[in-house]
Chains A and B, each alone.
Chain A
Amino acid sequence: MSNAATPASAVTKQEPGGAVSFYGVWLLAAIALVVLPLVFSSGGSLTSFSLIGIAIIFALSYNILLGQTGLLSFGHAVQYGLGGFLAVHVMNAVASHNWPIPLPVIPLVGGLGGMAFALLVGWVMTKRAGTVFAMISLGIGELVASSSLILRSVFGGESGITTDRTALMPLFGWTFGPQIQVYYLIAFWVMVSAIAMYALTRTPLGRICNAVRDNPERVEFIGYDPHVVRYLAYMFAGFFAGIAGGLTAINFEIANSAYLGATQSGLVLFSAFIGGTAYFFGPILGAILVTYLQLGLTSVTSVWQLYFGVIFIGIVMFAPGGIAGILMKHRPLIRAGTLRSVIPSYLVAAIPTLALALGIILTIETVARFSGGDVINLLGIPFVATAPTTWAAAAVLLVGGFLVARITWRRVAEAWDRAATVARDRGYLA
């Protein structure tokens, strides 16, 4: 019975080298994590890598909710922040009592903190999914963020609570004072958490989470309670968010109420969604991109958050699968060998789309810098924000770019349809 060919396995076409390539990807990721700081060893890039690592864990934990279970949370930073605060308090306690607990264990404490809070509020929160859950998560987020300013002895008010990561017991001679050691600690936890979260998606619980996302009624028919499944998913998400929070506390040696706030919750939602929630690696891409943009854009423009908003709206409207969704759409074409017929239309569409993007950037920067009369440096060309020529250039790029781009996008869609039809005819799903 078991070796009878089921339709599912016939469609997915298991390759013989599947296991090798599967473990190869993880091995490559691990090697990349080890080698990266050796290649880019400056202090700035080390800090960036550390932040990106934390963002990856946080975004992946968010995707347990949004991608796997279909729960849209607007308050995921609560578990992250509470994990961070617990980590700071435990670090201070460990240091003052000289307990033999090394620093690498601390993120686990943060994770348990996040999980404990999820355990506490999760049952009420996950009673209903959909819009109601989204609203409740927002309310709980506001509740915790506002309460943190009242409970000053625990959360330290506006200034937060500081700690000293080097005060803990050294491990194998590592004091975790230098950033490189903290980076390797974060990299270790990124690897462990990513593997654990991937494994979670392969367990029966992970599968039933997907079922609850897609059709809770059917799940009830086969004897599971969707409420319990959502509750469990919420706890796991809280656990990994807490790990990320604990790592942040170690990285910055401080925890403050901003960790719990709506901005942090919004950023993780942006990361996960821009990356793509339908695939496991989507939030990783999103976390890398969003953190990189966040670090890179702040020095270039004062309105960097607006660019996030624009990118996010663009993704929601035109590519709800995120970056991962766009990439994975090409897989059947690559396999069928029809990708080549699409590429010319991409190249043609790229030019007006780029012009449109430049038009948007120029418009935003012109408005932002109008009162200051500053100079906008775009692709090495200086534009004066108060000059009518700049406005004209922005208008031409914006309107012209949009009108031409719309035609080329239509061409892309046509070329895409032809290639996909061929791919489907050759037996690859498109």
Chain B
Amino acid sequence: MAELIVISTLNGILYGMLLFLLSSGLTVIFSMMGVLNFAHASFYMLGAFFGYQLTRWIGFWPAFVLAPLLVGAVGMAVERYGLRNTHKHGHVAELLLTFGLAFAIEEIVSMIWGRSPVDYRVPAVLDFPAFTVFSTNYPAYKIFMLVVSVVIFIALLVTLKKTRVGLIVQAALTHPSMVGHLGHNVGRVFMLVFGVGSALAGLAGVIAGPSLVTQSDMAALLGPILFVVIVFGGLGSLPGAFIASLLIGLIQTFAVALNGSLASLFGPLDPSLGASPLTDIWNVTIAQVAPILPYLLLVLVLIFRPMGLLGTRES
């Protein structure tokens, strides 16, 4: 049991930090531009596939640097030529544009790389067990992922809190028009923030690709969970997104690891009752419920705290 708790906590924090790499960008983009970027998870997927392709061509480490930059460039192009032109039609049109993009990117990726998982492997340098907890070997690559996401997290924090750029971004979070009045090129700030957000998503894809499955449906699987994270944490709140990312990361990891069901807890139901929703619920394991837990959490939060954990905004 202790082993399960330690390993699951490690994995949960890792998954949570990955979620935060994505949700931080999404939150900042949403706060500044009022656009909920539906294609954010698609940038994550692009990162994974660019990482895979570049790794095959030029090796993992150059890919580790280049792929996020490429994704960032794609993101900036989307902002400059897509969102900026759509802005005059309102937020719904912008949201729909990113929705269409997410749809198109998934189709393009499966068109180029196929619908089955690609063989994106952990680089040989990092392919060894880092340490052994009880009887489980913990892979070094996961530690590397954790280190990268923590470093990015700290870098993000320092940039936002200590630098001039961070100051402008922070101001633009709450008072975007005032920042414009003060003479900053809001358009360029938007484009940069969108690019950095996309690049972060791409980086998450590059490092998560070898560890998770790199497949053309990975965006569709992760996207909804990402939205749960930012609604749960409170739309537009970075600390909220951080807490929600870790929480959902831990919950999902623990749920997948646990195999109990109501039947194993209270004993099987009387077979004479026959098949009914009750027997379904009785026999389902926690691991099977894991995929729907974030959404259940979302519904609960909406009933009891519609603003989200740390949210302050109405819309």
Residues of A participating in the B interface, judged by any CB pair closer than 8 Å: 70, 72, 74, 124-125, 127-132, 134-136, 138-140, 142-143, 146-147, 150-154, 262, 266, 269, 273, 303, 305-306, 308-310, 312-313, 316-317, 320, 364, 367-368
* Nearest CB of chain B from residue A236's CB, rounded to whole Å: 20
Minimum CB–CB distance for B132 against chain A, Å: 35
What CA separation (Å) do A135 and B103 show in the bound complex? Answer: 17
B residues less than 8 Å from A70 (CB atoms): 92
For B270, the chain A residues whose CB sits under 8 A away are: none
The answer on a CB contact under 8 Å between A139 and B295 is yes
Q: Indicate if the CB atoms of B306 and A127 lie closer than 8 Å.
A: yes
Q: Are B224 and A139 in touch, CB under 8 angstroms?
A: yes
Q: Using Cβ atoms and an 8 Å threshold, which residues of chain A touch B220?
A: 262
Chain A residue at minimal CB-CB distance from B291: A146
The binding surface of chain B is classed by DSSP as helix
When chains A and B are docked, how far (Å) is the Cα of A134 from the Cα of B228? 11
Give, as a whole number of angstroms, the nearest-CB distance from A214 to chain B.
Answer: 12
Residue of A nearest to B83 (CB): A317
Which of A72, A131, A310, A312 is close to B315, meaning CB atoms less than 8 Å apart? A131
Complex Cα distance A130/B277, Å? Answer: 34
Q: Which residues of B contact A (CB under 8 A)?
A: 30, 34, 36, 82, 85-86, 89, 91-93, 95-97, 99-101, 103-104, 107-108, 111-112, 220, 224, 227-228, 230-231, 235, 275-277, 279-281, 284, 288-289, 291-292, 294-296, 298-299, 302-303, 306, 314-315
- The chain A residue with its CB closest to the CB of B89 is A320
The CA of A364 and the CA of B110, in the complex, are separated in Å by 12
- The chain B residue with its CB closest to the CB of A74 is B99
Q: Do B302 and A124 touch across chains, with their CB atoms under 8 A apart?
A: yes
Instruction: Give every chain B residue within 8 A of A125 (Cβ-Cβ).
Output: 302
Contact A139–B235 (Cβ < 8 Å): no
Q: Once bound together, how far apart are the Cα atoms of A140 and B276, in whole Å?
A: 23
Q: In the bound complex, do residue B99 and residue A269 qualify as a contact, i.e. CB atoms below 8 Å apart?
A: yes
A150 near B107: Cβ-Cβ < 8 Å: no
Can you spell out 15 A-B residue pairs with CB atoms less than 8 angstroms apart? A127-B306, A139-B231, A139-B294, A142-B292, A142-B295, A147-B292, A150-B280, A150-B289, A152-B275, A262-B224, A303-B107, A310-B104, A313-B101, A316-B93, A317-B86
Give the Cβ gap from A98 to chain B, nearest Cβ, in Å: 22
- How far is it, in angstroms, between the C-alpha of A368 and the C-alpha of B228 when the chains are bound? 34
Most central of B34, B36, B100, B103 by chain A CB within 10 Å? B100
Task: Name the residue of chain B whose CB is nearest to the CB of A370.
Answer: B112
Cα distance A143–B314 when bound, in Å? 24
Q: Which residues of B contact A142 (CB under 8 A)?
A: 224, 292, 295
Residue contact B292 to A143, C-beta cutoff 8 Å: yes
Which residues of B have CB within 8 Å of A135? 36, 227, 230-231
Report if A136-B231 is in contact (Cβ < 8 Å); known contacts: A151-B281, A316-B97: yes
Additional A-B contacts beyond A139-B231, A269-B96, A309-B103 (13; CB < 8 A): A70-B92, A72-B96, A124-B299, A127-B302, A128-B315, A131-B315, A143-B296, A146-B291, A150-B288, A150-B292, A152-B280, A153-B280, A367-B112
The answer for the CA separation of A153 and B101 in the assembled complex, in Å, is 37
> In the complex, A143 Cα to B300 Cα: how many Å?
12
**Residues in B neighbouring A127, C-beta threshold 8 A:** 302, 306
Interface centre among A129, A131, A312 (most CB of B within 10 A): A131
For B315, the chain A residues whose CB sits under 8 A away are: 128-132
Q: Which residues of A contact B298 (CB under 8 A)?
A: 136, 139, 143
The distance in angstroms between the C-alpha atoms of A273 and B100, with both chains bound, is: 11
CB-CB < 8 A to A313: which residues of B? 82, 97, 100-101, 104
A344 to B292, CA, bound (A): 57
Which residue in B34, B82, B299 is a CB contact (below 8 Å) of A317?
A: B82
Shortest beta-carbon distance from A328 to chain B in Å: 16
| Leading 5 A-B pairs by shortest Cβ distance | A309-B104, A143-B295, A306-B107, A313-B100, A312-B100
Report the minimal beta-carbon distance from A168 to chain B, rounded to whole angstroms.
Answer: 24
CB distance from B248 to the nearest CB of A (A): 12
A316 touches B100 (CB 8 A): yes
CA separation between A266 and B107, bound complex, in Å? 14
Q: How far is the CB of B263 from chain A (nearest CB, A)?
A: 14
Whole-angstrom distance from the CB of A391 to the nearest CB of chain B? 15
Given contacts A139-B295, A367-B112, contact A131 B235 (CB under 8 A): yes
In the complex, which residue of chain B has the Cβ closest to the Cβ of A134? B95
A287 vs B235: C-alpha distance when bound (angstroms)? 34
Q: Which residues of B contact A316 (CB under 8 A)?
A: 86, 89, 93, 96-97, 100
Q: Which residue of B lies closest to A277 (CB)?
A: B92
Contact of B97 among A262, A317, A364 (CB under 8 A): A317
Report chain B residues within 8 Å CB of A367. 111-112
Q: Is the CB of B231 within 8 A of A306?
A: no
A-chain residues with CB within 8 Å of residue B111 when the two chains form the complex? 303, 306, 364, 367-368
Docked pose: A290 CA to B92 CA in angstroms: 21
- Known contacts A316-B93, A317-B85: does B302 contact A136 (CB below 8 Å)? yes
Of all chain A residues, the one with the shortest Cβ separation from B228 is: A139
Q: Are A132 and B231 in contact (CB under 8 A)?
A: yes
Alpha-carbon distance A367/B112, docked complex (angstroms):
7
B289 closest partner in A (C-beta): A150
**Inter-chain contact B93/A320, CB cutoff 8 Å:** yes
Closest chain-A Cβ to B284's Cβ sits at a distance in Å of: 5
In the complex formed, the residue of A with least CB distance to B110 is: A303
Min CB distance, A380 to chain B, in Å?
24
Q: How far is the CB of A261 from chain B (nearest CB, A)?
A: 10
The docked-state distance in angstroms from the alpha carbon of A305 to that of B34 is 28
Nearest-neighbor residue (CB-CB) of B88 within chain A: A320
Smallest beta-carbon distance B127→chain A, Å: 29
Residues on A with C-beta less than 8 A from B288 are 150
Say how far A59's CB is from chain B's closest CB, in angstroms: 15
Contacts of B97 in A (CB 8 A): 313, 316-317
**Given A262-B220, A273-B96, A305-B103, residue A154 in contact with residue B227 (CB < 8 A):** no
Q: How far is the CB of B258 from chain A (nearest CB, A)?
A: 16
A131 and B230 alpha carbons, distance in the complex (Å) = 12
Complex CA gap A317/B94 in Å reads 9
Query: Which residue in A74, A132, A154 is a CB contact (below 8 Å) of B235?
Result: A132
Nearest chain-B residue to A307 (Cβ)? B107
Residues of A with C-beta under 8 A to B295: 139-140, 142-143, 146
